[in-house]
Structure 1
Amino acid sequence: MSTRSDEDSQQRFALGLIFALIALVVLSVVGAAVYHYGLPQADAAEGAAAQAGAPATSVAVITETVVATVPEGASIRVEGDTVNFYFATGSADIAPGAAEALAIVLKGVESGRKAIVSGFHDTTGDAAVNEQLARKRAETVRDVLAGLGVPAEKITLEKPAVTTGSGSNAQARRVEVRLID
């Protein structure tokens, strides 16, 4: 008959293994996105600089809007130096397809910037529960970034002055990651 500590040890091992597998999958997806989307931009910038006779630079400017949507209402939107992770009602799960947005944040941090993570919520339901859910969503995004190797000193969890988002309820249920110098 096994003891309680043996069972706890086995459960911790299983949870650790599951977490490691999830981290491996996320890192693989982010790595593939960085490889797929990061290298062509650098090659294009170097090619344009070479044609103009100027030295190549590695500064990338984000000028397009990227949107990924899933049926549950969770999505990701990248606009300039801000990445918005939108969440389904009552959920703190990041939308599938977040690898590209996470890769943008990783690139920003690697270039010396900081990531400010803020959680927002809609106005439906209990305000206290919504506040807790907004914080949990922000912590989830922070933890994913930390799991991808972003140093803790480069991530700041910041409660916005007004936590209820403007616009529709779907737009209000978000975590905003701003890249600052």
Structure 2
Amino acid sequence: MASSADDDSLQNLILGLLFGLIALVIFLLVGIVIWHKGHSAKPAKSGGAPVAAMVAPAAAAVPPIAVVTETVTVTIPDGASVNVGANGVVAFYFATGSADLAPGAAEALAAVIKGVQGGRKAVISGYHDTTGDAAVNEQLAKKRAEMVRDVLTGLGVPAAKVDLQKPGETAGSGNNAEARRVEVKLVD
């Protein structure tokens, strides 16, 4: 029996380290994007002309920087992927038996953060496929939703702006790969 407990604690340690590494990579990517945007927005030095005089006329006619007009999907091997939809729903797809976010999740997380900064609230719901034990799948769906919530709050989203909501039916629609997902709906 001691061997089984040792195996479980070793597995938990490895999973904890893996989640920490994934969170670190996501933080790094988001930090680089934020740093890059902050540095690329600085105006060039002028030859003595006031910067406000150079920026003011252009600032009045600046169109929105980005408008989501189509769905962008990034597919990662092993079934994990991300889908940023134009309808205010961001979907994180997971590999079988895993609660690890796809490596391409930084862009989707940034879309959610931008929505929350714009005054919206993130409602997170976890779904699972229909293979295997239903109770285990339901716990895995909850764990996946908590992972997305924890990453968002770790990236500075206020906990009051994030709501975990268990759907009425946790078994997701579509094929098994589409069913293993966490949906983040941005609501007013």
TM-score (norm 1): 0.75
Pairing partner for 1:180 from 181, 184, 187: 187
Q: 1:39 to 1:66 in 2, by over 3 A?
A: farther
Q: Post-superposition shift, 1:66? A: 1.5
| Gap runs ≥5 in structure 2 | 1-15, 41-56
Pairing partner for 2:171 from 156, 164, 180: 164
Tell me how far apart the structure 1 counterparts of residues 129 and 92 of structure 2 sit (CA, whole Å).
14
Q: 1:113 to 1:57 in 2, by over 3 A?
A: farther
- Paired letter, 2:31: G
Tell me how far apart the structure 1 counterparts of residues 100 and 76 of structure 2 sit (CA, whole Å).
12
Q: Post-superposition shift, 1:68? A: 1.3
Moved over 6 A (4+): 35-40
Alignment of 1:94 with 2:101, yes or no, is yes
Q: 1:71 to 1:146 in 2, by over 3 A?
A: same
Tell me how far apart the structure 2 counterparts of residues 39 and 174 of structure 1 sit (CA, whole Å).
35
Give the secondary-structure state (helix, strand or coil) at the position aligned to 1:72: helix
Tell me how far apart the structure 2 counterparts of residues 138 and 59 of structure 1 sit (CA, whole Å).
30
Alignment of 1:122 with 2:129, yes or no, is yes
Q: Post-superposition shift, 1:107? A: 0.4
- Paired letter, 1:169: N
Q: Post-superposition shift, 1:31? A: 3.2
Within a 5 Å distance, the mapping from 1:1-181 to structure 2 comes to 19=20, 23-33=23-33, 55-56=61-62, 58=64, 60-80=66-86, 81-181=88-188
Tell me how far apart the structure 1 counterparts of residues 76 and 128 of structure 2 sit (CA, whole Å).
19
TM-score (norm 2): 0.72
| Gap runs ≥5 in structure 1 | 1-14, 41-49
Sequence identity (%): 64
TM-align CA RMSD: 2.9
* Matched-pair contact (CA < 8 Å) for 1:33–1:99: no
Tell me how far apart the structure 1 counterparts of residues 70 and 32 of structure 2 sit (CA, whole Å).
20
Equivalent pairs, count: 155
Q: Who wins on radius of gyration, i.e. which is larger? A: 2
